[in-house]
Amino acid sequence: MIYPMAALVLLTFYAALRMFMARVAAVKNNQVSIEYFKTYSTPSDQLPAIMIYTQRCYNNLLEMPILFYAACLTAMATQLTGTLMLVLAWLYVACRIGQAALHLRGKIRWRMRLFMASMICLLAMWGVLVGTALAR
């Protein structure tokens, strides 16, 4: 379970790097004042789209994946790291990689589908954990 978690951590760092690069480029190109980063109070319709995409992608990788990390750690602690859990974990990560790739490009339709698929994988992981706990 550590490898799917590590893959998602790397994706999160990649998204953070992309966000940083978009911000630096926006300041260098005079699209955003450096003062913006003091309060983040500029309306989003006045920001470059790439800044919005990368920020939202990064934020998304800090929201639902918390439940993924918790599921993986719980699986490891309870020794429920069998094939099913590993497959579900890798499917979740694959969906999140696809979703992030589309998010960073501002694509919506398939991004939503991949998000829903990742949610199903995550729900299934928790279903296995809770179902096994109830069966014990």
Question: What CATH number has the domain bearing residue 51?
Answer: 1.20.120.550
Domain of residue 120 covers 2-135
- Report CA Rg, the chain: 18
How many domains, the chain? 1
Q: What is the DSSP string of 81-135?
A: -SHHHHHHHHHHHHHHHHHHHHHTTT--HHHHHHHHHHHHHHHHHHHHHHHHHHH
Q: How many C-beta neighbours within 10 Å does residue 114 have?
A: 20
Residue in this structure with the two tokens 């919506």, named with its chain if needed: 108
Residue in this structure with the two tokens 């179902």, named with its chain if needed: 131
Residue-by-residue pLDDT tens, the chain, 136 positions: 999 999 999 999 999 999 999 999 999 999 998 888 888 887 877 889 999 999 999 999 999 999 999 999 999 999 999 999 999 999 999 999 999 999 988 788 899 999 999 999 999 999 999 999 998 8
The structure's pTM equals 0.92
